[in-house]
Amino acid sequence: MKISVITPNYNGAAYLKATLESVLQQRDAGVDLECIVVDGGSTDASLEIVRAYGDAIDHVISEPDDGPADAINKGMRVATGDILCWLNSDDLYAPSALNRVIEAFAQHPDKALCFGRCPIVDENGDEIRHGITRFKEIFYPVSCRFAIQCLNYVSQPACFFRREAWLAAGELNPTLHAAWDYDLLLRLWRQGGAVMLDGDPLAQFRWHETSISAQGFRRQFREAWQVAAKDAGMIRLQTLIHLMTWWGIVAIYSVMSFFRQRGADGTADTNAEGL
Q: Residue ranges per domain, the chain?
A: 1-106, 108-275
Asked if the domains 1-106 and 108-275 are classified in one and the same CATH topology, the answer is yes
For residue 196, the model assigns a pLDDT of: 97
pLDDT, residue 257, reads 63
Q: What are phi and psi of 273, to 5 degrees?
A: -65, -20
In whole angstroms, what is the distance from residue 89 CA to residue 9 CA?
Answer: 6
Q: Are 160 and 85 in contact (CB under 8 A)?
A: yes
Per-residue pLDDT averaged across 101-122, rounded?
97
Average pLDDT over residues 189-215: 85
- Contact between 165 and 82 under an 8 Å Cβ cutoff? The reply is no
Res. 209: pLDDT tops 80:
no
> What global pTM score does this model have?
0.89
- Distance, in Å, from the CA atom of 154 to the CA atom of 138, rounded to the nearest integer, reads 11
Give the CATH number of domain 108-275; options: 3.90.550.10, 3.40.250.10, 3.40.50.300, 3.80.10.10: 3.90.550.10
* pLDDT for res 275: 47
Considering the chain, what is the average pLDDT of its residues? 91
Contact 4, 80 (CB under 8 A): yes
- Residue-level pLDDT at 219: 83
Domain 1-106 falls under CATH 3.90.550.10: yes
Helices (H), the chain: 13-24, 46-51, 68-78, 97-107, 130-137, 145-150, 163-169, 180-189, 212-215, 217-232, 237-264
Query: CA 164 → CA 2, 15, 86, 103, 192, distances in Å?
Result: 13, 31, 16, 17, 10
Judge contact between 73 and 97, C-beta under 8 A. Answer: no
With contact defined as beta carbons under 8 Å apart, do 83 and 194 qualify? no
- Express each pLDDT in 115-172 by its tens digit: 999 999 999 999 998 988 999 999 999 999 999 999 999 999 999 999 999 999 999 9
